Amino acid sequence: MSVRVQYILDSVIEALVDNPERCFIYVEIAFFWRWWNEQSNDTRNIVKKLVNDGAKFLRDQVGDCARPKIAWQIDPFGHSREAASLFAQMGFDGVFFARLDYQDEDRRNQTKTMEFVWKGSVNLDRRSWLFTSILSNFYDPPDTFCFDQSCQDPPIMDDPRLHDYNVPERVQGFINAAHDQAKGFVTNHNIMTMGRDFQYENAHTWFTNLDKLMNIIDEAMGIAQHHDAISATEKQHVADDYAQRLSKGIDKSANVINNAYAKLLPKKSQLPMAAPQFRCQYLNISECLPIEGQNRFTSTLRNPTIHPVTYHVRVPVTKEYLIRDPMGNVVPAEYRPISNMTQNIPARESSARNQYIFTVALSALGFSTYYFEIKKVSEKIERKNVTKVPKEMCYLKNENLRVEFDDQGNLHQIINLKKNISVSFAAQGFYWYTSFPGNNSAIEFQASGAYVFRPLTSEVQPVSTTRTITCTKTKTVQSALIVFNEWVSQEVNLYQEMSSVEVEWTVGPIPIDDNVGKEIIVRYDTDIDSASKYSTDANGREVLERIRNYRPTWNYSIVENVSDRSQGGGSIHDDSLGVDEPLNETAFGKGLVVRGRHLLIVESPANSGLAHRVAAQQLFMSPIITFASSQISYANYSNQTYSQPVRIDLQTLFKSLGTITGVIELALGANLPLSQLQRLSWMTNNNESSHIDMSKSSFLKDTIVMLNPMEIKTFQVTLS
């Protein structure tokens, strides 16, 4: 597979200069930016003259004429109603996407519903409606119409004097392809995609043949787009590059943190400047190398949410410490061993064998600093009692919940003590599907890989027929460590005063010595009679009710059950769909270890929405933890600083920066005043119009705005 992207741009620019009437769409802005930085001013000026569409980078370089009006989702897998709502609020007139379930596509082609008006949000009504069209052939050209240097399709020979003249059959072939595609659409205007992954290395060949088609048929379009991010549908060296860039970005965020804490942490001007803060990226495997062996260090936690939170901190250590809170009080932290499963993770370099666990309360948008000082011989540390209980007596309990296990280590029941609600489990554990080991010579031999989940059979196998359970209880947290085998374990934690059960699972390295691919799942079998209904959020925002194995737009035929969410997996065979590598990522010569968390909440349907919202936000926006090597003793650096419309005074938000002298509401993408936004209006088959008056102001008075549920607003603010 060719990845010489820079040659695509070099070749395309040359071809466009040869004929300015040619059109080319390119959306890989990151690649374009890297190519742009290497170009001379003359080449940049040529590009500026050619560009008529683009995103923010192009708008900055070219001007307002580059404001996008169409959203493209050519390669992503799965589509979200929330994304449609956001696109509409950005001012887009439509979205085109390529990938959808093949059964849905078949039905839509038969019922001529390959295009429709997507109603993005029940809260925002017509403001979130968006014209949507599905590309018929992914983003590829029709069969036999690929003209790049790697293609074998015949070019268009338009000289009738030569024996290989083929215009009639080539044109008829293109017309037939257009008619076949049009069968799924109601309107007469269809898009014919003329690109493919890594195409247009020889743009001259492409455009020469497209020009001939345009001259004969008077319609053509060229597209080249490739989209693979962290979905595991990229080569390993690309994944490594993503990881490196993300790591560098996280490292640079330390500058932002340090600049903020330099002003916020010192309580008095005469105190020394705050020590440089750093983040420990491997705390989830109990590793923080910079603090190991230190006699004194600090840990600062910031709450990024607008609600007070209670958080349970775990700090891996190689020594014993006294821990003081912001007021100088000794924190009764628990000194607990780090599990063997964590200590034996291949990539872990830490020598820490123990950890401190303690609880912190953080105010909304507030932060607190905790001080670790090595314990002197004469000092006694008040430790909370740690109790181990026999496995046949294992249960976890606080004032809100009771979690019960049987003597085999199986999760048996969770009881909400205050609501007298319980959920029983027939089984809970980890299983694996055997990956289909096909040779990809035909569809029936399709191997399971990065793009395709295809098990050998629909039956799952437990990762182990036995498990061991170890229960420990302290005042802060009660835990059940369940080990299934040497590569799968989970720790069930119930913290004091919490209304949810935390399940932290660890999988890996997945054994492949038997040359069998394994697709790992976790399953909770409960006694809940849900009538196959369940709810999920769309991009963390609106909650949607769903029905198991039901699709509202087509009759879904199920052959084999698949898992709903992916948090990691492995397949040792390539599926020949583009990556050309098996899904088998390694580190230190062994397969990766994956760790994640589930929160289990037992609530009534009426109250579950609020509980889910709060827990999801606190899980996603958990406190930011930084550390610093400290030469000063403790001091108080603590900063004391639902679905209804709210009023927000913008002046209050920006009071430290100056006085607001002007405010303009912009479209969500910040590239056009909202009052100037004129989206296309659509009439649905039910005679519903998507028209909405955009001239209505969001301002109640001066700088006070009303923000409704699910709304995101963008403003341009002028300060004096």
Q: Residue 239 pLDDT more than 80?
A: no
Longest Cα–Cα distance in the chain:
104
Q: Residue 526 pLDDT more than 80?
A: yes
Q: Residue 177 pLDDT more than 80?
A: yes
pLDDT band at 131 (very low <50, low <70, confident <90, very high): very high
Q: Supply the pLDDT for residue 1.
A: 40
pLDDT band at 592 (very low <50, low <70, confident <90, very high): confident
Q: Supply the pLDDT for residue 617.
A: 85
| Tens-digit pLDDT profile for residues 268-294 | 544 556 688 899 989 999 999 999 999
Please compute the mean of the pLDDT values over residues 97-104 and round it to a whole number.
Answer: 86
Q: Supply the pLDDT for residue 451.
A: 72
Q: Residue 679 pLDDT more than 90?
A: no
Out of 94-98, 294-298, 483-487, 605-609, which region has the weakest mean confidence (pLDDT)?
Answer: 605-609
> Would you give the DSSP letter of residue 154?
P
Alpha helices in 199-293 (DSSP H): 203-217, 236-264
Specify whether the CB–CB gap between 638 and 367 falls below 8 A. Answer: yes
Q: Supply the pLDDT for residue 390.
A: 63
Q: Residue 636 pLDDT more than 70?
A: no
Higher-pLDDT residue of 472 and 238 is 472
CATH fold, domain 388-619, is Beta-galactosidase; Chain A, domain 5 (2.70.98)
Specify whether the CB–CB gap between 14 and 204 falls below 8 A. Answer: yes
Strand partners of residue 471:
389, 480
Higher-pLDDT residue of 140 and 241 is 140
Nearest partner of 511 among 464, 561, 446, judged by Cα: 464
Higher-pLDDT residue of 482 and 391 is 482
Q: Supply the pLDDT for residue 319.
A: 93
Q: In angstroms, how far is CA 141 from the centroid of its own chain?
A: 30
> Would you give the DSSP letter of residue 448?
P
Q: Residue 315 pLDDT more than 90?
A: yes
> Would you give the DSSP letter of residue 719?
E
Q: What dotted CATH number matches 241-385+623-629?
A: 2.60.40.1180
DSSP string, 36-61: HTTS-HHHHHHHHHH-----HHHHHH
pLDDT band at 598 (very low <50, low <70, confident <90, very high): very high
Out of 80-84, 301-305, 368-372, 416-420, which region has the weakest mean confidence (pLDDT)?
Answer: 80-84
Please compute the mean of the pLDDT values over residues 229-239 and round it to a whole number.
Answer: 59
- Domain limits of the chain? 5-74+135-224, 241-385+623-629, 388-619, 646-719
pLDDT band at 701 (very low <50, low <70, confident <90, very high): confident
Residue-averaged pLDDT of the chain = 81
Q: What is the percentage of the chain residues whose pLDDT exceeds 70?
A: 82
Q: What dotted CATH number matches 5-74+135-224?
A: 3.20.110.10
Instruction: Say what the pTM is.
Output: 0.62
